[in-house]
């Protein structure tokens, strides 16, 4: 309930209400030059109360709220690489929004921020920034600090030139790369074996580095993924990317036979070489680039993770169901797979459309 009284030349507003516990609360403000201005302010407060906003909440700089939200809800469970992304976000928010309160930011303000941020950044970089901010703003709504989510219904703006399309190998190129890996492999040097494993399983490089011999079941022809290698922070085991990344991958006897050759290195780590080291990401990529050059495959942006995309491309080309592929990759849900590999799915969808037409035409013969 709002009351408006005139005090001297100005108008004073007092809004009263009871909280969830029945306790009487009041908020007042004076200095309005006209009664209409005072009434408009009262209506706005009552509207906020109706929608559940805590109008007694002091205004909080967005930069301050984001940093606190990160420290409390995200930092304790985030990996080092994820923490680095959040630290970048904190710097960007501090620089752009400065002392602007989270309660004062509009959808327009946020879109302008994204427009500026995305001018010289890739689509994936902008998407990651947006997802972090969106999660924070959703938390602010849950805390009844704001009543509207200003990150909804916006457009991601990015630099197409920096948005790299991930290369994958054709069937012929994949066969040439596989043959080179096999023909030149030596037990003392394990990078080629890592590349073969990526080709045959679609596993991430950290998952491959972390493999121990008890992860490999020769009877059931499977590899169990239950940890990853922290190659970005000097090595050592760490948890997988998420719970769904813990999985069992069915493999061929051929791959198992190739890996068995590495037992002569006398290490519990599958890919530890004769010098007692697991090849670094840089070393594995150097070997991959050398092999691509020998195979006369010109794909400058192709790197180790591209082998995962190549694995998906190969399975799709053979008609393997996308749901089965998603589980094999360790994605938490099907949409992750379809979003990540949308460009591949579209390509093979065109092939399937031709097959549909061909088979339907048979009905009329």
- Residues in CB range of 5: below 8 A, 6 or more apart: 11, 12, 14
Q: Is there a single domain that holds both residue 107 and residue 209?
A: no
SS3 50: helix
Q: Is the pLDDT confidence value at 260 over 90?
A: yes
Q: Is there a single domain that holds both residue 123 and residue 190?
A: no
Residue 1: per-residue pLDDT: 65
Q: Is there a single domain that holds both residue 187 and residue 284?
A: yes
SS3 99: coil
Residue 233: per-residue pLDDT: 81
Give the 3-state DSSP-derived string for 313-359, with helices as H, strands as E and coil as C.
Answer: HHHHHCCCCHHHHHHHHCCCCHHHHHHHCHHHHHHHHHHHHHHHHHH
Alpha helices in the chain (DSSP H): 35-50, 62-69, 80-97, 107-117, 123-142, 171-183, 191-201, 205-209, 253-260, 281-294, 306-317, 322-329, 334-340, 342-361
- Residues in CB range of 94: below 8 A, 6 or more apart: 63
Residue 355 — very low, low, confident or very high, per pLDDT cuts 50/70/90?
confident
What integer best gives the mean pLDDT of the chain? 88
**Which is more confidently placed, 176 or 344?**
176
Flag whether 302 is in a domain: yes
Are the C-beta atoms of residues 296 and 173 closer than 8 Å to each other?
A: no
Q: Is there a single domain that holds both residue 190 and residue 318?
A: yes
Q: Is there a single domain that holds both residue 71 and residue 25?
A: no
- Residues in CB range of 269: below 8 A, 6 or more apart: 211, 212, 278
What confidence tens digit (pLDDT) does each residue in 59-76 have? 899 999 999 999 999 999
Six-digit token pair at 172?
Answer: 């012929």
Residue 197: per-residue pLDDT: 97
Residue 343: per-residue pLDDT: 67
Look up the domain containing 9 and give its range: 2-50
Q: Is there a single domain that holds both residue 143 and residue 115?
A: yes
Last residue of a domain, one of 162, 191, 225: 162
Q: Is there a single domain that holds both residue 215 and residue 242?
A: yes
State what percent of residues in the chain have pLDDT above 70. 94
- Kindly list the strands in the beta sheet with 247-250, ordered across the sheet, starting from the edge strand earlier in the chain: 216-217, 222-225, 247-250
Q: Is there a single domain that holds both residue 287 and residue 200?
A: yes
Flag whether 320 is in a domain: yes
Six-digit token pair at 69?
Answer: 């939200």
Domain of 116: which CATH number? 1.10.150.130
Last residue of a domain, one of 133, 162, 191: 162
State what percent of residues in the chain have pLDDT above 90. 56
The angle at the Cα of 70, spanning 68 to 71, to the nearest 5 degrees, equals: 65
Residue 56: per-residue pLDDT: 55
Flag whether 197 is in a domain: yes
Q: What share of the chain is helix, strand, coil (3-state, %, to 5)?
A: 55, 10, 30
Average pLDDT over residues 84-98: 95
Q: Is there a single domain that holds both residue 289 and residue 175?
A: yes
- The answer to pTM > 0.85 is no
Q: Is there a single domain that holds both residue 213 and residue 260?
A: yes
Last residue of a domain, one of 116, 136, 162: 162
Using CB atoms within 10 A of its CB, is residue 122 exposed (0-12), middle (13-18) or buried (19+)? Answer: middle
Please state the domain count of the chain: 3
Flag whether 57 is in a domain: no
Flag whether 361 is in a domain: no
Q: Is there a single domain that holds both residue 29 and residue 72?
A: no
Q: Is the dihedral of CA 304, 306, 308, 311 positive or negative?
A: negative
Q: What is the CB neighbour count within 10 angstroms for residue 217?
A: 13
What confidence tens digit (pLDDT) does each residue in 49-58 have? 666 665 556 7
Domain of 177: which CATH number? 1.10.443.10
Between CA 189 and CA 168 the distance in angstroms is: 25
Q: Is there a single domain that holds both residue 146 and residue 269?
A: no
Flag whether 183 is in a domain: yes
Flag whether 9 is in a domain: yes
Flag whether 34 is in a domain: yes
Look up tokens 């991430």; give the residue. Answer: 204
């Amino acid at each position: 309930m709002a009351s408006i009284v005139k005090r001297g030349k100005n108008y004073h507003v007092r809004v009263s209400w009871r909280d969830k516990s029945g306790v009487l609360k009041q908020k007042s403000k004076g200095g309005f030059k006209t009664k209409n201005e005072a009434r408009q302010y009262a209506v706005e407060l009552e509207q906020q109360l109706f929608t559940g906003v805590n109008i007694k909440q002091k205004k909080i700089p967005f930069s301050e709220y984001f940093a606190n939200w990160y420290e409390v809800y995200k930092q304790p469970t985030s990996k080092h690489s994820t923490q680095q992304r959040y630290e970048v976000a904190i710097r960007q928010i501090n620089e752009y929004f400065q002392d602007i309160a989270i309660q004062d930011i509009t959808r327009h303000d946020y879109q302008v921020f994204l427009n500026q941020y995305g001018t010289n950044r890739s689509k994936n970089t902008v998407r990651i920034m947006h997802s972090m901010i969106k999660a924070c703003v959703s938390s602010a709504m849950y805390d009844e600090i704001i009543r509207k989510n200003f990150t909804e219904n916006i457009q991601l703006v990015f630099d197409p030139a920096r948005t790299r399309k991930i290369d994958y190998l054709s069937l012929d190129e994949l066969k040439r790369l596989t043959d080179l890996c096999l023909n030149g492999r030596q037990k003392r040097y394990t990078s080629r074996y890592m590349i073969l494993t990526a080709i045959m399983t679609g596993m991430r490089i950290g998952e491959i580095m972390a493999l121990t011999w008890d992860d490999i079941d020769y009877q059931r022809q499977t590899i169990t993924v239950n940890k990853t290698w922290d190659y970005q922070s000097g090595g050592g085991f760490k948890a997988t990317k998420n719970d769904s990344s813990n999985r069992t991958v069915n493999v061929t006897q051929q791959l198992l036979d190739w890996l068995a050759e590495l037992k002569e290195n006398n290490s519990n780590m599958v890919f530890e070489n004769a010098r007692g080291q697991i090849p670094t990401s840089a070393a594995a990529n150097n070997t991959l680039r050398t092999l691509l050059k020998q195979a006369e495959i010109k794909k400058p942006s192709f790197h180790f993770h591209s082998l995962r995309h190549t694995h998906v491309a190969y399975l799709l080309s053979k008609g393997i169901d996308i749901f089965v592929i998603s589980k094999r990759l360790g994605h938490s849900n099907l949409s992750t797979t379809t979003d990540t590999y949308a460009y591949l799915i579209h390509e093979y969808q065109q092939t399937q459309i031709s097959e549909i037409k061909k088979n339907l035409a048979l009905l009329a013969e």
